[in-house]
Chains A and B, each alone.
Chain A
Amino acid sequence: GESVGLHLPTLSVQEGDNSIINCAYSNSASDYFIWYKQESGKGPQFIIDIRSNMDKRQGQRVTVLLNKTVKHLSLQIAATQPGDSAVYFCAENWGSSASKIIFGSGTRLSIRP
């Protein structure tokens, strides 16, 4: 079946360094992708999204890269801060139904002081 996966379940990064979180997707029909951040005890929060007609999108300290050739999505966080500690997961959409959204299981990002 279709799935969204993550290359690494956990990631430890030095404070101030850049973080890169990866996500693989398998549905070539997916045309909209979202990264969410979930802090402990809270619900997922939208970080950034990207549509399939784009390769790159930048936000505040975050960049999402989409490589459709290898069905790969990444989230880059610049100058990682303690407040970035959370679980990050991606979601892919390939239609207008809620049943056509798949969420990855997440990567836990921890920050070393």
Chain B
Amino acid sequence: DVKVTQSSRYLVKRTGEKVFLECVQDMDHENMFWYRQDPGLGLRLIYFSYDVKMKEKGDIPEGYSVSREKKERFSLILESASTNQTSMYLCASSLAPLGTSSQHFGDGTRLSIL
């Protein structure tokens, strides 16, 4: 079974802090994704990556950046956290090509920005 592991289940940070959310997958998947999940809005794509050192902006990249130095690890960075970034963050991975297979999700990091 594919395992996508997010390093923290719950995180509380302060406005202006730099925040790192880490995600690791163990199935050698090419594609990795970061979403945020807010009530009533569905999953919204922040960033994704097709390969090591490659990244693409999703629908809501403002205020975020990502890093993919190794195939199995995809990090989401909040450069200067703000209260409107309080949310559930979900990491996912999938085998290429997209559009033909499902994504495998981690259990999420619930991030609160005070």
A residues with a Cβ closer than 8 A to B are 4, 31-32, 34, 36, 41-46, 49, 89, 93-106
Contacts and interface: CB of A to CB of B under 8 A. Distances in A.
A17 to B, nearest CB: 27
Interface in B23-66: 31, 33, 40-43, 45, 48, 56, 58-59
A93 B98 contact: yes
Given A98-B98, A99-B58, A43 B40 contact: no
Contact of A96 (B4, B98, B107, B108): B98
A43 B4 contact: yes
A93 B43 contact: no
A4 B42 contact: yes
Interface of B: 4, 31, 33, 40-43, 45, 48, 56, 58-59, 90, 92, 97-100, 102-108
22 contacts: A31-B99, A32-B99, A32-B100, A43-B106, A43-B107, A46-B103, A49-B102, A93-B98, A94-B99, A95-B98, A97-B99, A98-B56, A98-B98, A99-B45, A99-B48, A99-B59, A100-B98, A100-B99, A101-B45, A101-B99, A103-B43, A105-B42
Given A44-B43, A100-B99, A105-B40, 11 more contacts: A4-B42, A32-B99, A43-B106, A44-B90, A44-B105, A45-B105, A46-B102, A49-B102, A96-B100, A105-B42, A106-B42
B102 to A, nearest CB: 4
